[in-house]
Structure 1
Amino acid sequence: MSSRKRCLPGDNGNGEQVGPLPACKQVRAPSNGHVAALILARGGSKGIPLKNIKMLAGVPLLGWVVRSALDSEMFESVWVSTDHDEIEKVAKSWGAKVHRRSAEVSRDASTSLETIQEFVRLNPEIEVICNIQATSPCLHPFHLQKALKKITEEGFDSVFSVVRRHHFRWQEVKDRSGEMTKPLNLDPANRPRRQDWDGELCENGSFYFTKRDQVKAGMLQGGKVAYYEMLPEYSVDIDVDIDWPVAEQRVRRYGYFGRAMPEVVRLMFCNVSGCLTDGRVFLSVSGEEMVSVNTRDTEGIRMLQREDIEVVLLTSDLDPVTKSLEDKLAKRTGCQVIQVGEEPLNVLKPMVEQKKLEWKDVAYMGKEEQDVNCLNLAGLSAVPKDTPPVAITAAKYICHNSSGMGAMREFAEHILLQKEKAKAKMDQDRIDRCNF
């Protein structure tokens, strides 16, 4: 297998991190030619205007699948096909290349196949193309890795994603017989129990791997065809407004949040100023300065502690108000409270090493520019809703709640959900073993 390096923003090309964004990734090209990912993102969506760049759980919808495609390390190039300037800007910011599609394939009546054929015609070096649906935010890199092996190692010409459904289907009848419907996949006189029926495989639209020759022949599923089964938890599609809140809840539980995503967090750092407090300082008549801490947030800390996750609170020597709270916070929460300066990483890095942990085992919550390096390094990182853009771009999770208003509790719940996600991953691995 040949390989090359893709240098993303935040890396100087020598493996040295110079900013908050991901470092270089080693991309392995399958032996049978250039494999490319193509995400179709037209600007004229009728159901939800510009839905491809609408924020979902703190990330543009498009960003979820671009991140998974890049982190799979299975593609020599990852592209977004669009006709819209704002979508192009978002796609590039997430590390994708951009194919500006022609007006002929940007109409309401244009098909996905027509757009893919145009792309393949303009990029003759591509031998295998993976059309990834932008509206499938629960797609993970391992889905793409295992599906592509069916082409590169097992000799299939096309592979598409499916989900297993246990739905009894009926067909509407419109004739003079008087019948309204007829069964399609069952005998009404002998209805099977769910556990006695394998169900049916339904396309979930997440991705379609196809060799170049099949696309030129006008097919996304042709030649020797295979399917890749995904669990229902990962089979999310967004079409109309009512799908959005359901998808947001699902992606928070089952979405892919980055390469260093831990299955279990061992240690969490939380900045007191701007995370546990809301930034306001109250002055008493006698001149005392006071801040408030939300009981929901302190309960979030206890939730983590009950799961044997150590929580360390950070105060700044630049903020005398939170510094004066150290003893009270330690007593109220049972947490170690330490001071950090303008670069918290200088203090926290030796601490992580002393505990014999890696940063992928660490969660970090911050809000300001000085938190950026830690937000980027941590396996799980979050910022409150009211965070400046410089820190938002470094975080893997953006809370719905603001500083001092339950953001810490929300992030604690998100951390604990990763255990459930690990179980779902084990179930998906079981399906993969059965299908290979």
Structure 2
Amino acid sequence: MNIIGIIPARGSSKGIPGKNIKTLCHRPLIAFTIESALESNYLTKVFLNSEDEHILQEGENYTIENYKRPFQLAQDDTTSIAVIKEQLENLIKEDQNIDAICLLQPTTPFRRKNLIDDAITKFKAGNYDSLISVREIPHEYNPYWSFSDRDGTLELTVERKQIVSRRQDLPKTYHRDGAIYITKTEVILEKSSFFGNKTGFIDTTEDPYVNLDTMEDWIKAEELIKKLK
């Protein structure tokens, strides 16, 4: 099965200026994700996707392929699916046979060893249309215990006749952590989505985690690296 890795990294960022090549404990941020991708035995190719020459120059330090995206796909409102679909369509025009893509966002830099290959193995074994990495939602934030404002009145967010009273009876719920999205080519091209009809998951709850969006997140990442040493 031909699965390629794509690392999207645009040049501009409001929350953390220049974050994709900003130095995080002596390494540019994208290095964490590039190195994780290159450790994979199952990704046939790894692409760095950017409109920014400085980011692409950083990619030249590794045995990956650069893909320069159009500037119109590097705006604040540009979606990840639009970026990936545009590259995928162009690769297919070059007669490249691609079964699925593995999206690896540099803003989630901490991936345990073999996580990518474990995810790909599960993706293949389950014959999924897509697979994502997730983390378990703590019970106090479980959606079965959450309420929504309905015209000034609280109602259960998850539609039920009554609230789940005991913590032990709460179903496990998860949130996507952004580390891995694996999706079959036809799902991306036909549905413009990373989610097919049958979506599997790999649980990363016990793994180190940060999603870099603000400078507070960056400080948290620096502190986390120090703890991991």
TM-score (norm 2): 0.87
SS in 2 for 1:93: coil
CA separation of 1:156 and 1:188: change in aligned 2, threshold 3 A? closer
- Which residue pairs with 2:221 in the alignment? 247
Amino acid at match of 1:137: P
- Which residue pairs with 1:154 in the alignment? 126
Q: Tell me the CA shift for residue 35 of structure 1.
A: 1.4
Gaps of 5+ in 2: none
CA separation of 1:121 and 1:189: change in aligned 2, threshold 3 A? closer
Amino acid at match of 1:157: D
Task: Note the 1:335-354 alignment, pairs <5 A.
Answer: none
Distance in 2 separating the partners of 1:138 and 1:207: 11
Given that 1:163 and 1:202 are in contact with CA atoms closer than 8 Å, whether structure 2 keeps it comes out as: yes
- Which residue pairs with 2:38 in the alignment? 70
Given that 2:111 and 2:207 are in contact with CA atoms closer than 8 Å, whether structure 1 keeps it comes out as: no
* 78, 81, 95: which one aligns with 1:110: 78
State, as a whole percentage, how many aligned pairs show the same letter. Answer: 26
- Which residue pairs with 2:101 in the alignment? 129
Distance in 1 separating the partners of 2:51 and 2:28: 17
Task: Note the 1:48-87 alignment, pairs <5 A.
Answer: 48-87=16-55
Distance in 2 separating the partners of 1:182 and 1:168: 15
Q: Deviations over 1:331-359 (max 9, x none)?
A: xxxxxxxxxxxxxxxxxxxxxxxxxxxxx
Root-mean-square deviation over aligned CA pairs:
2.1
TM-score (norm 1): 0.47
1:205 equivalent to 2:178? Answer yes
Distance in 2 separating the partners of 1:192 and 1:229: 24
Amino acid at match of 2:157: L
Gaps of 5+ in 1: 1-31, 255-413, 415-436
CA separation of 1:192 and 1:251: change in aligned 2, threshold 3 A? farther
Q: Tell me the CA shift for residue 90 of structure 1.
A: 1.3
Q: Tell me the CA shift for residue 198 of structure 1.
A: 4.6
Task: Note the 1:275-290 alignment, pairs <5 A.
Answer: none
Amino acid at match of 2:15: G
Q: Tell me the CA shift for residue 152 of structure 1.
A: 2.6
Distance in 2 separating the partners of 1:138 and 1:224: 26
Distance in 1 separating the partners of 2:221 and 2:165: 32
Q: Tell me the CA shift for residue 153 of structure 1.
A: 3.0
Distance in 1 separating the partners of 2:147 and 2:58: 43
- Which residue pairs with 2:149 in the alignment? 173
1:140 equivalent to 2:116? Answer no
Q: Tell me the CA shift for residue 251 of structure 1.
A: 3.3
Higher RCO structure (Cα 8 Å, ≥6 apart) = 2
CA separation of 1:187 and 1:92: change in aligned 2, threshold 3 A? farther
Task: Note the 1:170-319 alignment, pairs <5 A.
Answer: 170-173=146-149, 175=151, 178-179=152-153, 181-184=154-157, 191-193=165-167, 197-217=170-190, 218-254=192-228
Given that 2:210 and 2:220 are in contact with CA atoms closer than 8 Å, whether structure 1 keeps it comes out as: no
Amino acid at match of 1:151: F
SS in 1 for 2:60: helix
SS in 2 for 1:173: strand
SS in 1 for 2:196: coil
CA separation of 1:72 and 1:253: change in aligned 2, threshold 3 A? farther
Distance in 1 separating the partners of 2:42 and 2:103: 14
Given that 1:69 and 1:141 are in contact with CA atoms closer than 8 Å, whether structure 2 keeps it comes out as: no
1:46 equivalent to 2:14? Answer yes
Larger Rg belongs to:
1
